[in-house]
Amino acid sequence: MESEPKMFVNLAVSIVAGLTVLLAADVAATAKIEVGKKAPEFTLKNQDEKDVSLKDFGGKWVVLYFYPKDDTPGCTTEACDFRDNFRQFEALNAVVLGVSADSPESHRNFIKKYDLNLTLLSDPDRKVMETYGAWGVKKAGGKETKSVTRSTVLIDPKGLIAYHWPNVTPKGHAEQVRQALEKLQK
């Protein structure tokens, strides 16, 4: 049997090793999104349960925003801001795609309730979120949990990442994205 001090040292080493693995995985997920690199391809179901792929939007700018949950305060604020700026994004040859783990049915209800004119995509296994660095380990109240990071990726008409907002504040974010899009198109 191990002595108590040695047991505590081994436990501490195991904990540090585990945290290192978690942090490395989190950094790896975020590191995949680099401006100038090819945007990772994806296919997800939209609110109408139809497949939507990134390749469907070749020749257009794509605003791909990730959010935690339909019909919650911050997510509603962000979706309504994108809704209210929809025509401006259209004029800039851009489509807006929201992604959460919610079901297509939840997306339909969210769209109906707030008269959203956006395409919302369902990523129930969070694979696309993970690929785009929007799913990973977060610390809150001293605890580590996996959760969605509210973030946005702007993809140019050639499929390259033009801009990345890794941590978004919902109110006013649509305006930030619109301004960045205008600058990039000049």
Q: Is 1 helix (H, G, I), strand (E, B) or coil?
A: coil
Single out the catalytic residue among 52, 54, 75, 161.
Answer: 75
Catalytic, 75? Answer: yes
Q: Is 128 helix (H, G, I), strand (E, B) or coil?
A: helix
Backbone angles phi, psi at 42, to 5 degrees: -155, 160
The sign of the torsion formed by the CA atoms of 6, 8, 13, 18 equals positive
Residue (of 134, 147, 131, 138) closest to 98 by Cα position: 134
* Residue 38 CB burial class (10 angstroms; 0-12, 13-18, ≥19): exposed
Q: Which residues are catalytic?
A: 75
